Chains A and B, each alone.
Chain A
Amino acid sequence: MLIPCPHCGPRTHEEFTYLGDATPRRPDPADPAVETAFFEYAYIRVNPAGPHRELWFHAAGCHAWLVVERDTRTHTITGAAPAGRTESSS
Chain B
Amino acid sequence: MAEHDLAWVPGRFGRPHGTPGLRVHELTDVALASIVARRGQATAAATAAERSFGCRLPDRARVELGHDIAFLWVGPGQWLAVTGLATTDLESRLAGPFAGVAAVVDQSGGRVMLELEGPRVRDVLAKGFSIDLDPRVFTAGRVAATLVAHLHVQLWQVDDAPRYRILVVRTYFASFWRWLGSSAAEFGGEVLESRRYVHTAPAAATQSCP
Contact = CB atoms under 8 A, between A and B. Distances in A.
CB atoms of A and B under 8 A apart anywhere in the complex? yes
Interface of A: 7-9, 11-12, 14-15, 58-64, 82, 86-90
Contacts of B130: 11-12, 15
A7 B76 contact: yes
B40 A63 contact: no
Interface in B37-52: 37-43
Q: Give the size category of B's interface with A.
A: 20 to 34
Given A12-B130, A15-B146, A15-B147, A87 B42 contact: yes
Nearest to B147: A60
Contacts of B41: 88-89
Given A14-B147, A88-B42, A89-B76, 16 more contacts: A7-B60, A9-B61, A9-B131, A11-B130, A11-B146, A60-B147, A60-B152, A61-B75, A61-B145, A63-B74, A63-B78, A64-B76, A87-B76, A88-B36, A88-B41, A88-B77
5 contacts: A7-B60, A7-B75, A62-B145, A82-B76, A88-B77
A64 B75 contact: yes
B90 interface: no
Contacts of B75: 7, 58, 61-64
Contacts of A86: 76
Contacts of B74: 62-63
Nearest to A2: B130
Interface in B76-128: 76-78
Nearest to A14: B147
Given A63-B78, A64-B75, A90 B145 contact: no
